[in-house]
Amino acid sequence: MLMLLMAMLCVPADVGAQIKWQENFDYPTGNLYGQGGWGKYGSNPNEPIQVVDQALDYAGYPGGVKGKSVKLGPASSGEDLLVRFDPSEEGIKSGTIYYSALINVSEAPTGPVYVMTLLPRTFSSVVKDGTSPTELGRLYVNAGDDEGHYKLGVERGSTKAVYANRSFNIGETYLVVVKYEIGAAGERHDGVTLYVNPASYTEEPSAADAVFDPSSSGSGISTWGLQGLELRQGTNYSATAPTLLVGSLRVADSYAELFTESAGPGEGTPALTLSERSLDFGTLYSGDIMTKTVNVKGVNLTGDITITVDNEELKPSVTTISAADAMTIEGVDVEFTLTPTSENGKATITFATEGATDATLGATWSTIAVKDIATLKEFAAEDGEAYLTYRYKGKAVVTFVDKSQASPVYYLQDETGGLQVKNDYDMMTETYKEGDMVTGFIGMITSSFGVNSFIPLTASLGTLVSENNTVEPVTVTLADLKAAAADYANRLVRVADAQFKDVAEGATFTEGMAQPTITDATGEGKLRLFKGTTLIGKAIPTETVHITGLSTSASAVIVAPRKAEDIKSAVASEPSLTVTPSKFEMAAGLVGKSSEFGTVHISAVNMPAATNLEIIGKNRDMFELSATSVPAGTNETDIVITYKPTAIGKHEGRLFIDCPEMPLLSQSITLSAYAIDEQNPPTVTVSPETLPTFEAKVGERQEQTISITTANLPDYAYMKLKESGSFLLSTTMLMKDATANVKVTFAPKEAGEYENEIEIYGLGLDTLRVKINGKAGESTEPEPEKEGDELPLDASSPMKLINEHFDNVTKNKPLSIEGWKNLAMEGKRAWWGYELPETDETAGEKVAKVTPYDSNVAEGKETTCEMMLVTPPLDFKNSESKMFTFRVRGDYLADNQTDLLELCYIDLAEGDMFVAPVEGFSMPNTEDQSGEWQEYHIDLTGQNIADVFFMGFRFKSTRGRTNSATYYIDDVSYGRTDLAVIQPSLRQLVFTSTVGKDAVSEEVTVTGNNLAEPIKLTLGGANKSKFKLSTSQLPITGGAFAVTFNSDEVGVHEAYVKLASRGAADIYIPISVNNELTDGIEGISAEPGNIEVYDINGRKLVEKEMATPAQATESLPAGIYVIKQMTDDGMKVNKVRIK
């Protein structure tokens, strides 16, 4: 057994390798993109980087300067390119990396711009075409002291560059070497050094031209390592990039290796590269199949690549790769499938092509023999002393998880039997929940008291087939269990009409108590109590009950309930009514014709009276139901809704589901549809059909008017511009059956020629397009004095998805982001960019910042200010998700402050900007909330939102020295479908307690989806000192917690639990505990009044005037009742247990 475990746990260590890579740009002149593995960094479209037929001249360069060079220029939004030099999956995470290049600057920049940088992989992707990894080890070019010179410097990432203390000549070729030391001053604190024209090619210079302090804050290497290099054309709003040539690019893990000629194949020589250095499949079980993928690339290939493997257990997905495919940017992924049979297997994989050195991979694996078992029942016949390894081939469902042990114990069941799974070897790390169906789990068995238990030998219970499955218990008598206990071992059983024997008055289920005796008409048995279940603390029933539980013994009659709900009174279930779906999408129809709108399914349980259905609302006559009632009792009913419009228009109604005897179960569903007339379809006409070319200078405007006439529309029509930019519309909404004069404004921001289209659309309408053109001349107007941008907002190109992290803002400078509007609505100040300082918990994070504080404003000279940061236009109609999210933090907040930060909804109607604060939540605005990040996720689904809208962060205050409230905004998104989500099983905790005694809430199960950080739990609220959490943190996948309460004060105590993880909306679970002296009739008001008493099915049993609760219930048998009291103090409703 020991040898088996050692074989499973021992895996080969990873083996490192030297990094040597070179690029001579020996490609055809033209675009570099797509050649030699060069892909795009991000999506900047302008001025592609060019290969030029010019080799840079540098005397004494080892082996001579070879190949060509590439040209980087000053274009705005210029193309940036990346290349991957390290094939490993995680990248280089330790040691030192050097990169070098020959550069010749022909035009100096106007400010600091970096032109080359290293790239690490990201959490979600390796360095590849279209990704935008963090940029580290940046080479900066800056303006010189005069026209003939420039400066060179280095920087690690997101901080200020350090420059050489000498200048460099325009038009002269220099050899630059950048050294990047990972972890030079600790994790994420990497060092960067610059050498220019070093004297030696074999010995690293002792003195550097520039050294970046590794202890500075900012980005650095942590989880993911370096994989690639970027060439960057970095013109931005503050500086124009240089024009320069780059050649002889090298990467190595030592200084001397940069200049050895073995850094790559000779020019024109075919060569192969593989993404992996070896394939270690580890230890597998016979019958398992495992795959691994190798990416194959080639350069200068003249023939196809053949793949051979010298072991039949390992098969490649292809045996030939075409040369053309191998030389693409992506290369070719080859999947190797292992079906192991050898106890210690190995193979050699060879990749061969004409003229190139063969590339080989070694593959290794170990195999453990396994016996397949088809059903759980078969385990009962196996000998645990044989120490065999088994694989379960059937499908079993988790019926219970016993969490009272150090490691959870699982109970599984299939059609033939049950099985207990115990993680005795602590090898299983995956967790499961009740209802999960699994197959393919592997392990051993052990025997205890005649019952075999299963011990997993892997990290999981095989494959999770599905979730939320139910297992129907087998109905048995206690005599059945006594006669064949082994047949029912670990299976879910149900004992009907059972009673607890010799129950003392007021007795409750407690952990460690003697097993209670249960009886039925056929015999008796014992009830086993699992620790930590919701049954603990509940009263032991005195009435007849149905018991569901696990039969946990192979020789005795023992039934173990899993939760309080497994013991149910033999009386009927409480009434319930479930209606699906809860909402419908808008439907379309034709005037005078009926069509099916949708079907409602109603599931009724023990309803005391019939349920009535009715269409209500303004257009109720446009809808019809297939039935108007559901009978009393338990039943399943489908109701078909028919749409039968008699007029053109948008029609709305509500399906009202009325439960007269159980009004709390009544509900309604909105019905929405539109109808058009086939004979008179919707039309829109535009006059004139074409507009003369607009002409205006930058900063000026020209207007033209078009007349738009609508006819036969079911609802308003809408209009928008195909692309945002220099054209504006005076309205985006068109009335039905009317003519509107719409102003089209040309307001260019740059000189040039413009083309665009006006799109007119609506319900039942074919989209109409009107082309518009404009010509813009240079502006003669001075720059505006105030900060930020100018109105109007542009709704012409709404976005279905935004995800802004403000990573490119400049600290304490007016914020400027493409598509966003940064508006000084009152006063001259707008929102700024900001980088949180080293002393902050989130040091180096970039955010949007707003504050009214201004030390230059003299006392008494304060002025009101309003700043608004507005998102790009958002596409409500077409976005996959309607979720808007952001993080906010307030610093220097004060109670009762006058500073106001609001999230505002904005749309454009008739050319005006409609702005309304979003209600339902509040921004942090108290001293206690200062310095705390709060995350909000706002679901706009079902709200009255325009098809195109904006969201704005509006800040109102008084600018001066006395107001210091400062707000930061980060992680603004809309339309994301991959949001991190915290999902608790309960949204509130309500329970009762007895004065002076501990009371424990129901267990709350928390599930984390897409989380990147653990879930933190904190208590808040007025009475938080009376509560205690079972844990303060849960892993990113989730977990469970409970709340304990204790107080000597009678009454309701309230608090809340906050669940927080960055990227997910904060979840608040309110807690309300009624702390009572007793749980019987004595615990409610004894004041006389008019009293009504109901049973749990909603039937009125007693109605008395001027009586006490005790008088009204004196003739009722033991049970649970609802008492409604009407006294001079008002109405009170209490649910009580009468013993």
Note the pLDDT tens digit of each residue in 1041-1099.
Answer: 999 999 878 788 899 998 999 888 888 899 999 887 544 566 566 778 788 887 766 67
Among 3.40.50.2300, 1.10.1740.10, 3.30.300.30, 2.60.40.10, what is the CATH number of 576-671?
2.60.40.10
Fold designation for 370-471:
OB fold (Dihydrolipoamide Acetyltransferase, E2P) (2.40.50)
745 Cα distance to chain centroid: 40
CB distance 677 to 764 below 8 Å: no
Local confidence band at 269 (pLDDT 50, 70, 90 cut-offs): confident
The candidate with the shortest Cα–Cα distance to 813, out of 241, 236, 242, 142, is: 236
Mind spelling out the 3-state secondary structure of 125-138? CCCCCCCCCCCEEE
1041 Cα distance to chain centroid: 22
Note the pLDDT tens digit of each residue in 923-936.
Answer: 999 888 888 889 99
Q: Which has the higher per-residue pLDDT, 396 or 843?
A: 396
Note the pLDDT tens digit of each residue in 747-784.
Answer: 887 889 999 999 999 999 989 999 999 999 887 666 54
CATH code for the structural domain at 981-1076: 2.60.40.10
Local confidence band at 572 (pLDDT 50, 70, 90 cut-offs): low
The reported pLDDT for the residue numbered 1133 is: 66
The reported pLDDT for the residue numbered 944 is: 87
Angle at CA of residue 806, ends 801 and 809, nearest 5°: 140
In one-letter notation, the amino acid at residue 992 is T
The reported pLDDT for the residue numbered 980 is: 86
CB distance 731 to 716 below 8 Å: no
Note the pLDDT tens digit of each residue in 476-515.
Answer: 999 999 999 999 999 999 998 899 999 888 899 999 999 9
Report the CATH architecture of 278-368.
Sandwich (2.60)
- Distance of alpha carbon 112 from alpha carbon 802, whole angstroms: 29
Q: Which has the higher per-residue pLDDT, 666 or 1002?
A: 1002
pLDDT (average), residues 892-919? 89
Q: Check residue 225 and report its DSSP letter.
A: -
Q: Per residue in 642-660, is it b (16+ CB within 10 Å) or e — as a string?
A: ebbbeebbbbbbbbbbbbe
pLDDT (average), residues 381-398? 91
The reported pLDDT for the residue numbered 332 is: 93
Helix (H, G, I), strand (E, B) or coil at 827: coil
- Distance of alpha carbon 903 from alpha carbon 930, whole angstroms: 18
Both tokens of 199, joined, read: 């004297």
The candidate with the shortest Cα–Cα distance to 818, out of 39, 138, 76, is: 76
- Distance of alpha carbon 49 from alpha carbon 231, whole angstroms: 9
Q: How much of the chain is helix, strand and coil, in % rounded to 5?
A: 5, 45, 45
Beta bridge mates, 1006: 984, 1039
Hey, what CATH class is 20-263 in?
mainly beta
Q: Give the whole-number percent of the chain exceeding pLDDT 70.
A: 94
- Distance of alpha carbon 30 from alpha carbon 28, whole angstroms: 6
- Distance of alpha carbon 495 from alpha carbon 498, whole angstroms: 7
Alpha helices for 457-602 (secondary structure H): 478-483
In one-letter notation, the amino acid at residue 1131 is M
Question: In the chain, where are the structural domains located?
Answer: 20-263, 278-368, 370-471, 474-570, 576-671, 683-777, 802-974, 981-1076, 1081-1138
- Distance of alpha carbon 922 from alpha carbon 348, whole angstroms: 64
Q: Give the whole-number percent of the chain exceeding pLDDT 90.
A: 59
Q: Which has the higher per-residue pLDDT, 650 or 269?
A: 650
954 Cα distance to chain centroid: 27
The reported pLDDT for the residue numbered 5 is: 35
Q: Is the peptide bond before 198 cis (omega within 30 degrees of 0)?
A: no
Q: Specify burial of residue 804 (Cβ count, 10 A radius: 0-12, 13-18, 19+).
A: buried
Cα–Cα distances in angstroms (integers) from residue 592 to residues 616, 648, 649, in the given order: 21, 10, 13
Superfamily, domain 802-974: Galactose-binding domain-like (2.60.120.260)
- Distance of alpha carbon 271 from alpha carbon 1104, whole angstroms: 97
pTM of the model: 0.36
The reported pLDDT for the residue numbered 1082 is: 60
Q: Is the peptide bond before 109 cis (omega within 30 degrees of 0)?
A: no
- Distance of alpha carbon 209 from alpha carbon 153, whole angstroms: 8
The candidate with the shortest Cα–Cα distance to 674, out of 550, 589, 555, is: 589
Helix (H) / strand (E) containing 1112: helix 1109-1113
CATH code for the structural domain at 474-570: 2.40.50
- Distance of alpha carbon 1048 from alpha carbon 1026, whole angstroms: 10
The candidate with the shortest Cα–Cα distance to 1083, out of 995, 1024, 1005, 1008, is: 995
Q: Tell me the CA end-to-end span of the chain in Å, nearest whole number.
A: 58
* pLDDT higher than 70, residue 1127: no
Determine which of 11-25, 94-108, 820-834, 1002-1016 has the lowest per-residue pLDDT on average: 11-25
Q: Which has the higher per-residue pLDDT, 1110 or 412?
A: 412
Domains 278-368 and 370-471 share a fold: no
User: Does the 683-777 domain belong in CATH 3.20.20.80?
Assistant: no
**What mean pLDDT is reported for the chain?**
88
Q: Specify burial of residue 353 (Cβ count, 10 A radius: 0-12, 13-18, 19+).
A: buried
pLDDT (average), residues 56-71? 91
